[in-house]
Amino acid sequence: MFFYNILNDFIEIKNFGNNIMTVSFVLTIILSIIQSYGISKQGKRISKHKSARAISVFFFAAQSIYSLGYVVYGISKNSLALIINGLLFIFFFRIVFQILALSFKKHNYFNTENIMTSLLLVLAPLLLLITNKDIMLLILFIISTISSVPQIYSLYKLKDYSDIEPKFLVSILVSSAIWLIYGITINGHALILSSIPTIISIIVFLAVYYYRKNYI
């Protein structure tokens, strides 16, 4: 009965029916599964090649904290879809630990990315405790966007793309587009504002990836 009451508090359950919210809710669940597949493929590629030379650990650390922020934001908005999608932080964290392990094996303990990642992980609990959850999500989004800069730079600078899993990038792009629609249906302003630049950055990311891979 307790869990039944909690479940009924979620806006998706309250508004379940033939409407845009229900459709977007179902799509976000499906895309969460697809996104988890894309992230897992990226992790498997790192394990297979035993290399993460073209991958930014700070980028994945920021994505993991951003996803965890979705869980917190989802709880504040009574959104089951946000909470479920936010659980992807587990998959992101796994990749962060993979990259750090490879870096430590090469005795690269104190490079810039490792230091930035460590600071982010230390500050993460404080960011997640911000009272205004819209502001919290926007701050996490800004960090996430900034983290894409070293990743795009690494991709542009290096000519070896064997570490990058394109399915991961596509899954992020598609899921961000759906989150934009979902944010509109629940009036989640922070979700809307964070989704649009994410879509743009991933498009740039993919453009650089395919251009450098096919033409250079």
Per-residue pLDDT tens for 165-193? 777 778 778 877 877 877 787 777 777 77
Residue-wise pLDDT for 63-92, tens only, equals 899 889 989 988 888 888 888 888 999 999
Which residues are within 8 A (CB) of 99 and not within 5 positions of it... i.e. 6 or more apart?
Answer: 46, 52, 55, 57, 60
> Can you tell me whether residue 24 is helix, strand or coil?
helix
**Given the structure tokens 């009924």, which residue do they identify?**
8
Give the number of domains in the chain. Answer: 1
How much is the pLDDT for 15?
75
The model scores a pTM over 0.85: no
Residue 65's pLDDT is 92
Backbone angles phi, psi at 28, to 5 degrees: -65, -35
Which residues does the chain have with pLDDT short of 50? Answer: none
> Domain range for residue 43?
2-215
